Structure formats: C-alpha cells, structure tokens
Amino acid sequence: MVLVAGIDSSTQSTKVELRDIESGELAAVGRAGHPPADPPRSEQDPRAWWQALVEALDQCGPRLRDVAAVSVAGQQHGLVVLDAGDEPLRPAKLWNDTTSAPQAAALVERHGADAWAVACGSVPVASFTIAKLTWLVEHEPDVVNRIARIALPHDYLTMRLTGRHVTDRGDASGTGWYDTAVGRYRSDLLDLVGGRPGLEWFEALPEVLAFDALAGRVTPAAAGATGLQEGIPVGAGTGDNMAAALGMGLRPGDIAVSLGTSGTAYAVSSEPTHDPTGAVAGFCDAAGGFLPLVCTLNATRVTDAVARWIGLDRDELAAAALSSPPGAGGAVMVPYLDGERTPNLPEATGSLYGLDFSTARADLARAAHEGVVCALLDGIEALAAAGASVAGRLHLVGGGARSSAYRQVAADCWGAPVRVPDAEEAVATGACVQAAQHCGLRLDEIAGAWGLGAGDDVEPASGADVAAMRSAYRRAAKAAAASVAPTPAGTATGATTDGRSP
C-alpha cells in the first residue's frame, strides 16, 4: 500500500495522518503537544514544533516506510525569524499574540485601510505577520539586525524537511506583504515596517510556490530524525485553513466554520476579495483560487472556560447547553475573553447580557455556545458583503465540531442543515491531499476517490427563532463594542455585518 503523510502543526499540537493514496483510507496517526501559548503575549519556540513532528511521526510506526510524499500545513501568521545558520533568533510570535495591536493600527493609519485592502486583499490586524515584524523592529532591534530569513510556521517545518526556504501563496497571503490578486511580494508595504529598506526585507522572505509545486525532497538529516524515507517529495505546504478546505473537498460557494482555539469562517472563491472594513481577509487558497476568511480569537476556549466556571466537564456542559432552549432563555454571551480580532477590539473582555432571576446554569452553557457560533455566522454575512458566494453548503469542522452542543447550536443559529465531515482532522487530511498531487493525482481525482466532504447533516431544531437569536447577539455585541475604544482598522462597524483569520 502506497501512503501519503499530511502534517497539521497547530497552536496546540502537531497531528500526522498517513492515508492510502488510492482510497484515502486512514492508515496511521500520531500526535504530540506544543508548549502552551496564551495571549496577549503568545509565543512558541519553533524547535518545539520540530520535536513534536518527530514524536508524532514516530507514533505512526513502521508504516512510515510506505510514505511516498508528505506535506505540511501550519497555523497561519506566526513570525519565525532565523539567523544565517537557519536557527531561530527568538520564540515565534503566534497568530493570537495581540501585543502588536498598536503596530497594526499604526500601519493602517499610515497607509489607509482602502489602500491596504487593494494592495494585499486585507487590512492588517494584530494577528498579521507584518504587524508582528513591525513590533519586533520597535522592541528588539538587536534581533532584527541578525535576521537572515523570515518564515511562517509551516515554512519552518518544510525547511527542516527539505533544506529549502519556500512558502505557498495561501500562507503568504496572510502576511500583509503579499499581493493576492497579482501574486507577488510588495516591497512598498515592507518599507512601512522600518528597520531596513523594503527591498532588504524582501530578500529575507521565502520563495512563493504554486499550490501544486514541489518544495523539495526529504534530506538525509530529516530522514534520520523523522523516519521518513530520504528523497521523497515534499509539497509546497500551506496554512491550516487552506488545508482544511482541501480536506473537505470544498467547491466555490461552499462555506466552512472551524471551531478550534480560534474560530474561522471562510468560503472558496474563484475571484479575490478586497474588504476595506478589515472584517474579511482576502486570502488565497491551496488549489489556485481564493479563500476569503473571517477569524475570531475566541472559540472552544470560551466554552471550556464557562465549563470551569460552573463546575462541569465538557460532556456535562454540552448536555446542559442542549437542555436549554434555542435563545438560552434570553441570556446572551459576547465571547471576547481573549480580546477580539473581528471586530478588531484587542482590549475587549467577555460580557453577559439578558440575565434575570430565572437564568439557569444550562442557559449560561447554551449562551456560551451561541455566542461563539453567532460571531462566526455574522462573519459569513461579512464574506457575502465582500463579494464572496456563500450559497453552498455550510461545513462545521475543528475540535468543536465533535461537540454535540456545537453541532446543534450551529444548525439552530444557521437555520438550515449543517454538514459535519467524517474527517475529524480536516487540516491533516488536506495536507495528505496536497501530498498526493506529487504522486501523479489531480485534486479533482483525489476528492472523488477519497470521498472528501462526506459526513453527517445536522438539522435545526423545530421552532428555533433564528432571527431573534441572531438579533439578540448583534445587539449585545454592539453594546460590548461600544464600551471599548476600537482599533482603527476593523472597528465594530467593520465587523458587524457583523462579525473575522489571521
């Protein structure tokens, strides 16, 4: 049996899947954790990702010798800076590090939100790599002077496997210095970073590969460390959301809502988007098209926190949420516990509205789930306002999609059936799909042969008043935003069509 390996290097862990190239059947899995990283200063040593990858591959056992190709998908936006020997100069600043919010605001003020949207398809917020590099210039000039290469998390792992400094258009589109419509770096945007001229920054960036290009081959050193066969092809890799779209076999117009540490809502598009409000990031995808995306910082960590507050475990919290009616008896939670990216309110905190003496513990459990989901569904409206088609099927993925409460709440708040794909790790599956291209298969052939996108459909509860639930959430979110001074790009107005990745 010929296998391909797909790697998902997320904020919390590295997951590996080995799949049969003909059928897509899962042959082996591995998983290893990453060090904890908590906002506002969220950082990890990139070498910990490599060690986690080595451990996860080791768990796959002897099937590794059957792997004919491999690809890496990783958390977007993280800033990895390397010296001349390709060693990390400092811990990577991750997507959910919000310390660069002032730098993002200054970049937008200096260049203008409309100009940013036209130049790179997105208006920078704290999560974008360009804001993090600007922060580094202002706070750690000694490190800046030693930077020889700049990489994203998936680029770093691809480099460890192949020895090549490359990236793909999907992940590059989340940096803030890549023109998504034209397909090139913008040295004029890099000029805004400071520290050195834009052209010098340009020279430190990885080569951008096409979605189906070969990044390189597994080196002898990487083979010795990982157990992968020396010389097998390594795909270009991509960002986690782009890989998930591949893993679900999404078609133009299809939508995905991903519930993990963060939440994302995105749609496959054949045309680029440019949203000057900052709500929608106009990313490229990993199949030659585009992936406009809205990201929220707060997703499953919110319900984990609420479970802790009211003394329940995850399963008990889900059961409690499902015992409360749609609308949570009037209780509404605005889940900005980590600050928020869409709307762009990094200093915000969570809020509860509509409580009275009849509010029960189950209502709080339901309100937490509804708050997370409604924020992302409002993001779908922002996608539509930016010109993306959202007429296809809604897919629910990520760790939260395993929760019976999140599944039902998503269907209730959407007011239509929601597909929960069979593939539990859509990002790792998507990386497998990308790797399979280097064994002579086309994406459409893989989608059909592997049955990508198959899953269960969850129906909304009868009698759920979708309009009332969504309106109640919007009123609460507007009140919460009004209590916090917004950051210039992606203010409360920009997010509340309503709603936002990195």
Same domain, 205 and 342: no
**Does residue 230 sit in the same domain as residue 268?**
no
Q: Is residue 333 included in any domain, yes or no?
A: yes
CA distance 29 to 114: 45
- 53: in domain: yes
384 plus 361 within the same structural domain: yes
Please give the tally of structural domains in the chain: 2
Identify the pLDDT of residue 489. 45
Residues 271 and 224 in one domain: no
* Shared-domain flag, residues 220 and 280: no
Are residue 174 and residue 303 in the same domain, yes or no?
no
Q: Which residues of the chain have a pLDDT value below 50?
A: 489-502
DSSP state of 216: E
What is the sign, positive or negative, of the torsion defined by CA atoms of 326, 331, 334, 337? negative
Q: What is the SS3 assignment for 186? A: coil
Domain presence at residue 501: no
Residue at which a domain ends, from 236, 271, 303: 236
Domain boundary among 236, 258, 292: 236
- β-strand partners of 457: 419
Residues 415 and 293 in one domain: yes
Structure-block tokens of residue 480: 């919460």
* CATH number, residue 212: 3.30.420.40
224 within a domain of the structure (yes/no): yes
| Residue 439: inside a domain | no
94 shares a domain with 68: yes
Collapsing DSSP to helix, strand or coil, 404 comes out as: helix
Q: Residue 290: inside a domain, yes or no?
A: yes
Res 261: pLDDT? 82
280-334 pLDDT tens trace: 999 999 999 999 999 998 999 999 999 999 999 999 999 999 999 999 999 999 9
pLDDT score at 363: 98
- Cα–Cα distance, 133 to 324 (Å, whole number): 45
Residue 179 is a catalytic residue: no
Q: Classify each residue of 332-355 as buried b or exposed e, where b means 16 or more C-beta atoms within 10 Å of its C-beta.
A: bbbbbbbbbbbbbbbebebbbbbe
Please give the DSSP secondary-structure letter assigned to residue 480. H
- Which of 184, 211, 236 terminates a domain? The answer is 236
268 with 399, same domain: the answer is yes
Identify the pLDDT of residue 245. Answer: 94
Q: Is residue 494 part of a domain?
A: no
Domain that holds residue 80: 3-236
In this structure, are 82 and 206 located in the same domain? yes
Between CA 359 and CA 369 the distance in angstroms is: 16
pLDDT of residue 246: 94
- Burial label for 400, CB within 10 Å (0-12, 13-18, 19+), is buried
- Decide if 443 is inside a domain: no
With contact defined as beta carbons under 8 Å apart, do 324 and 354 qualify? no
Q: Are residues 221 and 327 both part of a single domain? A: no
The pLDDT tens digits of the residues spanning 15-39 come to 999 999 999 999 999 999 999 998 8
Residue of 240, 275, 378, 412 marked active site: 240
Q: Is residue 227 domain-shared with residue 329, that is, in the same domain?
A: no
β 281-284/149-151 pair status: unpaired
